[in-house]
Copies of this chain bind each other. A is one copy, B any other.
Amino acid sequence: MPLKNTNVVSAYQTKFGRLEGATLREIFAEAVDGATNNAGIPKKDIQAVFVGTFIPEMLVHQGHTAPLLVDYAGLRGVPATRHEAACASGATALRSAVMAIESGIYDTVLVASAEKMTSVSTNRATEALAAAADDEFESSMGLTFPGVFGIAAVAHMAKYGTTEEDMARAAVKAHKNASTNPLAQFQKEITLEKAMTPRYIAWPLKLFDCSPISDGGAALVLTSNEKAKQYTDLPVKIIGTGQASASMNLCDRNDLTAFESSIAASKEAYKMAKLGPKDMDVAVVHDCFTIAEIIASEDIGLFKPGEGAKALRDGVTALDGDIPINPMGGLKAVGHPVGATGIKQAVVIYRELIGDAGANQVTNHDTGILHNFGGTGATAVVNIMRRSDV
């Protein structure tokens, strides 16, 4: 049965990028203020906070982040729990919040995140990110994430004929969409030629195939049907949610051209929503690398396996295409403050669905799908949102 009682009534994203001088707690507090007081939702209405952060332990030597961050954000005393699932941390926090509302234990809750990644060197950040892979079998052997996704890219190229130029097109699209998004880390277009610059990070992935290291935060307020109309005339419902896991290390996978967790999570979300891929008007998928967008667009059923690159080539996933993917610019160009990404994705879909996406507004905007992904898909979370007046 579709979820019936969970409404998004406000959403906020901070600027993503190198936020000089802003600490983890300051970025988090901006996100919270943006989704509460500044959106007309008093902080005193918030009964619980669901926090997603990936690895502040290694980035800013801080564990136990949930109570620390909510205190700084003016919510002292409010129960707050941190969720961690690598790059899917944000979406797991969102899912717990959905369950909290559906259980009837809380009416109004906040989902919030921040990650501060530029506090350490890029090498150190890469090492921290590697904690999302299997330390005994992968990261301790020197395999970091560009390498892991390079392997997936090679497999996709071999099986389906996907090319480096196909992947570069995902980067060009991301930068084009981000060029009109003032919150993006890279607010500028790039040419296909530039995206193809042979500066390899891990062959066949080049510099422009990789999402950047970013600081940033995002927050949402979720509430029950009864309370939703107090806050907005146009709530957006979360009608389906799915999550799945997979083996952490790639050597245990049967297929590197698709991520079984994404497939399973999307099937669960569609089933719960009683909708299918054809009902989706807009999608955000986890494009930590360009190949990841192509594979995700297939895994969540928008295209058949192996046809993601063609859809991209044909402009089907462009802002004005049949099914726009990452209409604001995705992780690739907007940035990827890890724990915040899953929540930022919901901010994007919320803004698109209520018609508040400015220059990045998609034409059809009744229903949207969000795909968030941890590591190489050891965790995948898919949510489906729909405007309440549909």
Contacts and interface: CB of A to CB of B under 8 A. Distances in A.
Contact of A100 (B65, B99, B245): B99
B131 A77 contact: no
Interface in A64-101: 64-68, 70-71, 76-86, 92, 95-96, 98-100
Contacts of A85: 64, 66-67, 81-82
A83 B81 contact: yes
B77 A95 contact: no
A55 interface: yes
A28 interface: no
Interface in A81-124: 81-86, 92, 95-96, 98-100, 102-105
Count this chain's copies in the assembly. Answer: 2
A261 interface: yes
Given A62-B131, A64-B374, A103-B103, A83 B80 contact: no
A378 interface: yes
Interface string A235-266: 00000010111111000100000001100110
A261 B67 CA distance: 11
A44 to B, nearest CB: 15
Interface in A123-148: 131-136, 139-140
Interface string A368-390: 00000011001100000000000
A100 B83 CA distance: 15
A83 to B, nearest CB: 6
A104 B3 CA distance: 10
A248 B77 CA distance: 10
A379 B95 contact: no
B248 A79 contact: no
A84 B86 contact: no
Contacts of A57: 55, 57-58, 131
A78 B378 CA distance: 10
A208 interface: no
Given A67-B378, A103-B103, A379-B66, A135 B61 contact: yes
Contact of A68 (B78, B248, B261): B248
A267 to B, nearest CB: 12
A84 to B, nearest CB: 5
A241 B100 CA distance: 12
A350 interface: no
A60 interface: yes
Contacts of A68: 134, 248, 378
